[in-house]
A and B are shown apart, each in its own frame.
Chain A
Amino acid sequence: MSTAPKTTAPAAGRAATKKELPEHFKAYKHVWVFIEQERGQVHPVSWELMGAGRKLADKLKVDLAAVVVGPEGEATQSAAAESFCYGADLVYMIADNLLADYRNESYTKALTDVVNTYKPEILLLGATTLGRDLAGSVATTLLTGLTADCTELDVDADGSLAATRPTFGGSLLCTIYTLNYRPQMATVRPRVMPMPERSARPVGRVVSHPLGLVEDDIVTKVLSFLPDRDSAKSNLAYADVVVAGGLGLGSPENFQLVRQLATVLGAEYGCSRPLVQKGWVTSDRQIGQTGKTIRPKLYIAAGISGAIQHRVGVEGADLIVAINADRNAPIFDFAHMGIVADAIRLLPALTAAFRARLSPHSRDRIAS
Chain B
Amino acid sequence: MHIVVCIKQVPDSAQIRVHPVTNTIMRQGVPTIINPYDLFALEAALELRDQFGGEVTVLTMGPPSAEDSLRKVLTFGADRAVLLTDRFFAGADTLATTYALATAIRKISTEFGAPDLVFTGKQTIDGDTAQVGPGIAKRLGLLQLTYVAKISALDLQARTIDAERRSEGGVQILRTKLPCLVTMLEATNQIRRGAMADALRAARAPIVKWSAQDAGVEDISKCGLRGSPTIVKRVFAPAARSEKAELIEGGEQPAEAVIDAIFKRQPGLETELAALARGY
Q: Which residues of A contact B (CB under 8 A)?
A: 1, 4-12, 14-17, 38-39, 41, 43, 101-105, 108, 128-130, 132-133, 135-137, 139-141, 143-149, 162, 166-181, 219-228, 240-241, 263-267, 273-274, 277, 282-283, 289-290, 297-298, 308-309, 311-312, 318-319, 321-323, 327, 332-342, 345-346, 349-350, 352-354, 357-360, 363
Q: Tell me the minimal C-beta distance from A217 to chain B in angstroms.
A: 13
Proximity string of chain B (187-212) to chain A, C-beta cutoff 8 Å, 1 when within and 0 when not = 10000000000000000000000000
When C-beta atoms are compared, the residue in chain A nearest to B248 turns out to be: A339
B147 touches A241 (CB 8 A): no
Shortest C-beta distance, A3 to chain B (Å), equals: 8
Alpha-carbon distance A297/B268, docked complex (angstroms): 11
B259 in complex: contacting residue of A11, A220, A354, CB < 8 Å? A354
Return the contact of B273 from the options A220, A241, A338, A350 (Cβ within 8 A). Answer: A241
| Chain A residues, Cβ within 8 Å of B220 | none
**Closest B residue to A148 using CB positions:** B129
The reply to whether B128 and A149 contact each other, CB–CB distance below 8 Å, is yes
Query: Given the known A-B contacts A38-B169, A338-B245, are A179 and B276 also in contact in the complex, defined by CB atoms under 8 Å?
Result: no
Q: Are A220 and B143 in contact (CB under 8 A)?
A: yes
- Would A319 and B265 count as touching, CB distance under 8 A? yes
B13 touching A140 by the CB < 8 A rule?
Answer: no
The reply to whether B247 and A332 contact each other, CB–CB distance below 8 Å, is yes
CB distance from A328 to the nearest CB of B (A): 10
Q: How far is the CB of B166 from chain A (nearest CB, A)?
A: 6
Q: Return chain A residues, CB-CB under 8 Å to B249.
A: 339-341
A residues near B236, Cβ cutoff 8 Å = 5, 7, 172-175
Residue of A nearest to B263 (CB): A357
Evaluate contact between A266 and B245: CB separation under 8 angstroms: no
Main secondary structure, interface of B, reads mixed
CB-CB under 8 A for A140 and B229, given A41-B169, A168-B13, A220-B174: no
B185 shortest CB reach to chain A, Å? 9
Q: Do A346 and B262 touch across chains, with their CB atoms under 8 A apart?
A: no
**Does B24 interact with chain A (Cβ within 8 Å)?**
yes
Task: Collect the chain B residues with CB atoms within 8 Å of residue A352's CB.
Answer: 255
The reply to whether B95 and A148 contact each other, CB–CB distance below 8 Å, is no
Listed by A's residue number, 6 A-B pairs whose Cβ atoms lie within 8 Å are A7-B22, A174-B232, A178-B230, A265-B276, A266-B278, A308-B238
Nearest CB to that of A147 among chain B residues? B230
B269 engages A39 (CB within 8 Å): no
Question: Could you say which residues of chain A place their CB within 8 Å of the CB of B1?
Answer: none
> A345 CA to B251 CA in the complex, in Å?
9
Pairs of residues from A and B, 5 with the lowest C-beta to C-beta distance, nearest first: A169-B13, A341-B250, A136-B134, A266-B276, A145-B229
Tell me whether B29 is interfacial, beta carbon within 8 Å.
no
Question: Which residues in A have their C-beta under 8 angstroms from that of B270?
Answer: 357-358
| Count of chain B residues near A, Cβ 8 A | 94
Report A-chain residues with C-beta under 8 Å of the C-beta of B241.
333-334
Q: Are A174 and B248 interface neighbours, CB within 8 A?
A: no
Q: Is B266 an interface residue (CB 8 A)?
A: yes
Contact of A349 among B98, B168, B255 (CB under 8 A): B255
The answer to whether B246 has its CB under 8 Å from any CB of chain A is: yes
Bound complex: CA A136 to CA B98 (Å): 10
Task: Flag if A10 contacts B25 (CB, 8 Å).
Answer: yes
Q: How far, in Å, is A296 (CB) from chain B's closest CB?
A: 11
Q: Known contacts A133-B134, A266-B273: does B246 contact A38 (CB below 8 Å)?
A: no
CA distance A275 to B40 in the complex (A): 19
Interface presence of B130 (CB below 8 A): yes
**Which residues from 155 to 199 on chain B have a C-beta closer than 8 Å to any C-beta of chain A?**
162, 165-177, 186-187
Q: Is the CB of A169 within 8 A of B126?
A: yes
A168 to B232, CA, bound (A): 13
Chain A residues with CB below 8 A from B226, complex form: 16
The distance from the CB of A322 to the nearest CB of chain B, in whole angstroms, is 7
Q: Which of A4, A105, A133, A137 has the most CB of B within 10 A?
A: A133
**How many angstroms from the CA of A333 to the CA of B18 in the assembled complex?**
15
Q: B250 touching A346 by the CB < 8 A rule?
A: yes
A263 to B130, CA, bound (A): 34
Further pairs besides A4-B233, A339-B258, A354-B259: 7, Cβ < 8 Å: A11-B235, A12-B232, A14-B225, A146-B95, A148-B94, A176-B231, A357-B259
